[in-house]
Structure 1
Amino acid sequence: MAEISPDSNADREENPLERQRELMALLSQETRHSIIQALLGHPAALASADEINHLIPSKSKKTVDEQLAVLVDAEILAIYDYPPNKQQRGLPWKFYGFTEYGADILGDFNYLKGVPMARAVHQKTRKPEKIERHETAPRPPLPASVRATFRLDEEAD
């Protein structure tokens, strides 16, 4: 597995090609790649675990959860909590979204060029009522730089 340990930061700074190889291995693993694609297509670039699991039906929930944890540990994704939803039955309160670092990495590896296609696919994907409810649930804001990367503010106008 392409986990990145903080102890190797100095080595990566001295060897940018090794760092690039590690990141490519991290991003290209099948389940992690599918998670990234699901988030790139999400209208808010911020999804609950149930939404992500629905969009990756070929993988078990356990596998998706494990790979979400790897992406969080690598600081590509963060968990964004929205405590008001804890009081609402049937609404998610924990969401996964890109970090500023993650958005920068996706830009470096040209993932952002696929956002329009990923959003079109997401929009056309049939979703059961629970997933529709999750998709439209209130959620916390992403950092301004991440919102700008995904042009979320422009779409709200």
Structure 2
Amino acid sequence: MHDYLTQDTRHKVIQMILRHPQHLATLEELVYMTGADSEDVQRQLRSLKDVGIVTEHRHMRNEDGDGDVPTTFYGFTELDIEVLDRHEYLSGSPAMRALYDKTEKSDVVQRHGAAPRPLISSVVENTLNMEDTHD
């Protein structure tokens, strides 16, 4: 599992979702923040979804919009967080949040970052926010 999780793009995708301010990232945000091409990020997201590490979240209220607001977000469930914790992905890395916050973002990434998101489990949110304060 360690070898699987540490593949370069896959690792960056996981880290960017963990350190995203809302813990849910869009494909555009992940492509921009990882520096990988869209095809590679999509391939890694499919792989992570297939093994149960990343979960796709849909925000149906955004579907009625003009197409500029994303409807699909990638994040974690409580079980995903347990797996990542077992492999020490939750410890450390406030630098990743600072990097995310301080990175100059394109207009599209800024719009995606400000988009309404579906609710995530309070356990997931509290765990990830608690990890941010321990680092």
Match of 2:5 in 1: 27
Match of 2:37 in 1: 60
The counterpart of 1:75, out of the listed 49, 52, 63, is 52
> Equivalent residue of 1:79, what SS?
strand
Match of 1:6 in 2: none
Match of 2:79 in 1: 101
Q: Offset of 1:111 from its aligned partner?
A: 1.5
The counterpart of 1:148, out of the listed 122, 126, 133, is 126
The counterpart of 1:48, out of the listed 20, 26, 45, is 26
Match of 1:122 in 2: 100
TM-score of the aligned structures, taking structure 1 as reference length: 0.78
Cα RMSD between the aligned structures? 1.5
Q: Offset of 1:144 from its aligned partner?
A: 2.2
For the pair shown, the structure with the greater C-alpha radius of gyration is 1
Identical-pair percentage: 35
Match of 1:136 in 2: 114
Match of 1:86 in 2: 63
Counterpart of 2:9, as a letter, is T
Consecutive unaligned residues of structure 2, counting only runs of 5 or more, are none
Consecutive unaligned residues of structure 1, counting only runs of 5 or more, are 1-22
Counterpart of 1:79, as a letter, is E
TM-score of the aligned structures, taking structure 2 as reference length: 0.89
Counterpart of 1:84, as a letter, is R
